[in-house]
Amino acid sequence: MLVLLDSKPLGMVTHPTISDEADECSQWLERLLAQDVAVAIPEIIDYEIRRTYIHRDNQRSIALLDSLITDIGYLRLNTETLMIAAALWGKARRDGVSTASEKRLDIDCILAAQAHQASIEGQEVRIATIDVDDLSRYDTDLVKAVLWRDIN
Amino acid sequence: MSHLAVRYFGRVNRKTAWPSPQKENRLTLSPPRRAALGGWEMKGLHKCEETHEISEGYKAAIALLRSLRNVDEAERQRQRDSWEMLEQDLDEGRYH
């Protein structure tokens, strides 16, 4: 199983003292790593978080993000990812289940595409998120959006 | 603040240049350290499972996570300020 971190769980583990939930999330990730579960930070999530840190000139958080990426792992985007994302976006809109505005980049869709791409050779992928309802519309047999604390 | 926290937070005041995507090797199609396109480094993962050992990267990540939980009040305040901005931006950017 591969676990992909969505932005809120990733944000919480780098800000663990802001709430009990964030502390729990940090300890949850620590347990996964200690069990050698494959965990990765998707490139689209790095983009989503990094751009706000750069905008806010939050150099310390950028350094923390860089450290986590180096230590845990990074799932890159490429042309195939965006082809899958385009297919998911178009189908969701055609089926009337899209939640993002047409003018938005729709990060959910690109995150789901990264998960789909990682599952191509039979790998089970779990997207650790707080936003199960929106992301689960892209679920498959191998790809599931799951509340982070329910992944063990 | 723990030794590890100092190690990571010591980078804060470093004047960083705009990161070079080429230097960071982020514009290539080569697989990251643990992940590939649909083809994870399964051999390495199986080896880890057999020996119940985790990678040096995971050990470092665990140490980092712990160092962020065990911090002084100044760092707690920094986390609160940083989180407030991040949450606002994430909510505006994705959920609204």
User: Residue B91: closest CA among chain A residues belongs to which residue?
Assistant: A8
Average pLDDT over residues A55-70: 94
B87 within 8 A of B79, measured Cβ to Cβ: no
Which of A33-42, A89-98, B46-55 ranks highest by mean pLDDT?
A33-42
- Model pTM score: 0.79
Q: Is residue B88 part of a domain?
A: yes
Q: A99-144, pLDDT tens digit by residue?
A: 666 667 789 999 999 999 999 989 999 999 998 998 999 999 999 9
Q: Which residues of A touch B33 (CB under 8 A)?
A: 73-74
What range defines the domain where residue A103 resides? 2-150
DSSP chain B: --HHHHHHHTTTTS-PPPPPTTTTT-SS-S--SS--SS---HHHHHHHHHHT---HHHHHHHHHHHHHHS--HHHHHHHHHHHHHHHHHHIIIII-
Contact between chains at A34 and B83 (C-beta distance less than 8 A)? no
Specify the pLDDT at position B28: 36
B85 within 8 A of A15, measured Cβ to Cβ: no
Tell how many helices (H) and how many strands (E) occur in chain A: 7, 5
Q: What end-to-end distance do the CA atoms of chain A give, in Å?
A: 10
| Domain count of the fold of chain A | 1
Q: Which residues of B touch A72 (CB under 8 A)?
A: 34, 57-58, 61
Q: B12-48, pLDDT tens digit by residue?
A: 333 344 444 444 444 333 333 444 334 333 333 333 4
Q: Is residue B91 part of a domain?
A: yes
Most B-contacting residue of A36, A57, A82 (CB-CB within 10 A), to test interface: A36
Contact between chains at A36 and B89 (C-beta distance less than 8 A)? no
Q: A8-22, pLDDT tens digit by residue?
A: 999 999 999 999 999
User: Residue B78: closest CA among chain A residues belongs to which residue?
Assistant: A15
Q: Which amino acid is at A112?
A: A
Percent of chain B with pLDDT strictly greater than 70: 42
User: Residue B6: closest CA among chain A residues belongs to which residue?
Assistant: A60
Q: Is residue B39 part of a domain?
A: no
Could you tell me the CATH number of the domain that includes residue A63? 3.40.50.1010
What range defines the domain where residue B87 resides? 56-96
| Domain count of the fold of chain B | 1
pLDDT of A47 > 60? The answer is yes
Specify the pLDDT at position B62: 97
Contact between chains at A60 and B69 (C-beta distance less than 8 A)? no
Q: Which residues of A touch B16 (CB under 8 A)?
A: 59, 62
